[in-house]
Amino acid sequence: MKVLQLKDTNEFTSGAMKRFFLVEDSPNFKIVNFNLDEGVTFPVHSHDLDGELSIQVLAGEGFFLGNGEAEIPAKQGDILISQIREPHGVRAKTQMRILVTIAPPI
């Protein structure tokens, strides 16, 4: 078992996205914490493989982004679940912390 403290990754870079790999050596899943400064976009992208992902908003608010112009309001406590092949991204309205879980890892 392993305990991670998300307070230890509560860092932002002005005008940018900061990434913390929390679990990346597991054969079953990967967990990544991204902190987006206000107005920063994690570009819409997809991966050419099977699997699922979740994006949980830990703090702040913004939008989950999808194919084309798709955007879904996102606030603290919201979780997006999608196939890895499905286009996904995030745009921060305020400083925003998200936790991404990917299974299987890419």
- Strands (DSSP E) along 24-104, which ranges? 30-36, 41-45, 52-59, 61-65, 71-75, 79-83, 88-92, 96-103
Model pLDDT for residues 31-52, shown as the tens digit of each residue: 999 999 999 999 999 999 999 9
- Residue 105 has what pLDDT? 82
17: number of Cβ within 10 Å: 18
Residues of the chain with pLDDT under 50: none
Domain boundaries, given as residue ranges, for the chain: 28-99
Q: Which residue has tokens 């890895």? A: 84
Fold adopted by 28-99? Jelly Rolls (2.60.120)
Q: What pTM, to 2 d.p., does this model score? A: 0.94
